[in-house]
Chain A
Amino acid sequence: MRSSRLLALVAAGAASIYAAILPKIDLPKDSPVAVIGADYGDSTETARGGAVVVDLHASLSLRNSSGRHIRGITLLVRSQEVTPGSKGSVTLTSLDVAPGEAFPVRMDIRLLRPVTSLGGPLELGLDGVLFDDLSFYGPDNLQSRHTLTVYEIEARRDRRYYKALLAEGGPARLRQEVLASLSRQVDRPDMEVQMTRASRATNLEPERPVQFALLHLPDSPVEPTEGMAKIAGNEARTPRLEVHNKSDRAVRYLEIGWLVKDGRGRQFMAGTVPATLNLPPGEKAQVLKETLKFPQLGGGPLSIDSMTAFVSNVEFSDGKMWVPSRADLGDPRLQSVLAPSPEEQRLVQLYRKKGLTALVDELKKF
């Protein structure tokens, strides 16, 4: 592994301040991306009470040094001294970076460490790069291969969908669909979320058995068949969920999405739970093992009233993936709570900022 320390600041006086907080960037020798520029212009380190706060504002310029188009990238962000086991990542998706082309990555990171801690540099590394042929490069410690591939498949699905609308109904039809997507995004308020460690018992509410509601997506190769848990507050203890592989291929990984209704009648997408398994065609398996601890929302503790499970995506043993179709996503139970794909979000934002012509031109590129 080759490491490099980049100093991108002009003023010599500032260099001494920034030297302590500049990140260490580790990229492998054969990395398909290279850092060609870095600017940490507004970064600071300040003492506040018994803590030191490092605000790192990094504008990196990376170049695609491979021979293929890059569709997505995940960078790992870590501070061994401040949070030894925990880490962060920055993912860019819906990219189209040609060989030799440069692209920007912006990160705004805040580290807070007690004054007694030694401190240490922030580390930036590469977790993975996805190419246009869906091949992947990288250590994949953060499951970024799976995630980036799902995003890319969703992107292709959504672009096909919008192009079909344009072909059938013209720009007016496309615009109406984009407006509908925008309305759904506006309808879904921002959530503030807190998660606590799964291993700590944080609520003493009495348990009650709850059967899961199951949402079947017609095109899904795997479907949930039955499930239940003992619900106490925001925890689903001793959960059981059985899934059935309806396809003719073995499944090695899937993600279960959870729709939760709380005691106040609010329904929302609470999160996903991954499951690694080896499920032959036609077989069934249990996929949950540990207590599910649902995040708390801004406004107070969560009290689960009911839970609905659905299969959010599937990875087969041959590496191919399945994501819900647009028809599946039209289910009203999902439509009101599920976020759009990154590509849909990008295309809708493009329409908002630059208008219909720009959106049509963008769709023509793919």
Chain B
Amino acid sequence: MKHPPQDQLALFAGGEAGWFESWSVRRHLVACPICRKRAADFSQDRQTVRNLSVELPPEVEWNRLADEMAGNIRVGLAAGEAIAAFDRPSDDRTSGVAGARTSWLRWNAGWAIAAASAVFAAAFWLNLPNPQAEHLLTALRAIRVDRAGKLVQPAAPAADEVVVEASGSSIQVRENGGSLALLHPRSDGLTISVNMQGSAGARYIDSDTGQVTINRVYYAQQ
């Protein structure tokens, strides 16, 4: 018995086979349990793909991601409106107040465009990509922009020299072969600050509580 090719069975299972192909396969299936099972497997796979496609990838923290996306969309729409106002000719030429407001809008929208455009130049220049800034920038510009630049590994000073380090995930102080680090979650708007008499801080907004949190480490002066 000649079996139909696999692709015919696969298309038959999904209803994409032409009428003659379908008729031919249907006739064969009546007499062939092997191909019947095969077609049923293809059918089942379709359902499997459908069922499992509503599940999130395991590495995704949905609430956090959704919050971030919703925020970026809101910002992107608002920025788009500012730019649209910039493009729209002013209807009111009589009121000085409206004229002043329009010219403020023009300045601000133009600045927003320039600022958005400058981000990747700055990121490339400093070789320090900020994944969250990029997602926000994408929303601001509403187009897909490729990442610019790669993280350059900083030249490592001698291990016994460095006492305080601040990075995107933690700030730490080292002493006597030990270290104390305060970790911060990946969050938007992380701000690193330095007091040159011996401390560094990392400020962020806790995404669960909305609280402003500042972690700081202090090194002992010799």
Contacts and interface: CB of A to CB of B under 8 A. Distances in A.
Query: Is there any pair of Cβ atoms, one from A and one from B, under 8 angstroms apart in the complex?
Result: yes
Given A176-B108, A296-B154, A274 B197 contact: yes
A192 B128 contact: yes
Interface of B: 67, 70-72, 74-75, 78-79, 82, 101, 105, 108, 111-112, 115-116, 118-119, 122-123, 125-128, 130, 133, 136-137, 140, 152, 154-155, 157, 161-168, 170-185, 188-198, 200, 203, 205-206, 208-222
Contact of B154 (A113, A184, A293, A300): A300
Contacts of A112: 178-179, 181
A8 interface: no
Given A88-B173, A175-B78, 10 more contacts: A89-B215, A90-B182, A108-B185, A109-B181, A112-B181, A195-B162, A195-B163, A271-B196, A274-B197, A355-B74
B160 to A, nearest CB: 9
Contacts of A95: 211
Interface residues of A, number: 85
B213 A179 contact: no
Interface in A48-102: 77-79, 81-95
Interface string A331-350: 00000000100110110111
7 contacts: A82-B178, A90-B216, A108-B183, A111-B179, A190-B130, A195-B162, A353-B71
A204 interface: no
Nearest to B178: A82
Nearest to A270: B194
Contacts of B188: 185, 349, 352
A352 B127 contact: no
A299 interface: yes
Contacts of A109: 180-183
Contacts of B221: 197-199
A83 B212 contact: no
Interface in A316-366: 339, 342-343, 345-346, 348-353, 355
Contact of B175 (A84, A186, A298, A345): A84
B180 A187 contact: no
A206 B122 CA distance: 30
A228 interface: no
A45 B195 CA distance: 31
A299 B127 contact: yes
B96 to A, nearest CB: 15
B182 A271 contact: no
A83 B128 contact: no
Nearest to A362: B210
Contact of A88 (B155, B180, B206): B180
Nearest to B101: A169
A114 interface: yes
B118 A187 contact: yes
A299 B126 contact: yes
A267 to B, nearest CB: 11
B112 A186 contact: no
Q: Which one of A175, A183, A187 has the highest number of Cβ atoms from chain B below 10 Å of its Cβ?
A: A183
A110 interface: yes
The DSSP consensus for interface residues of chain A is mixed
Contacts of A16: none
Nearest to A90: B215
Contacts of A269: 193
A121 interface: no
Contact of B128 (A189, A195, A196): A189
A87 B180 CA distance: 7
B136 to A, nearest CB: 5
B74 A352 contact: yes
A202 interface: yes
Of A81, A112, A349, chain B has the most CB atoms within 10 Å of the CB of A349
A83 B176 contact: yes
A113 B178 contact: yes
B215 A88 contact: yes
A182 B184 CA distance: 20
A292 interface: yes
B148 to A, nearest CB: 11
A179 B211 contact: no
A89 B218 contact: yes
Nearest to A78: B180
Contacts of B218: 86-89, 142
A5 interface: no
Contact of A192 (B118, B163, B168): B168
Contact of B140 (A186, A194, A199, A293): A186
Contacts of A186: 115-116, 119, 133, 136-137, 140
A331 B163 CA distance: 34
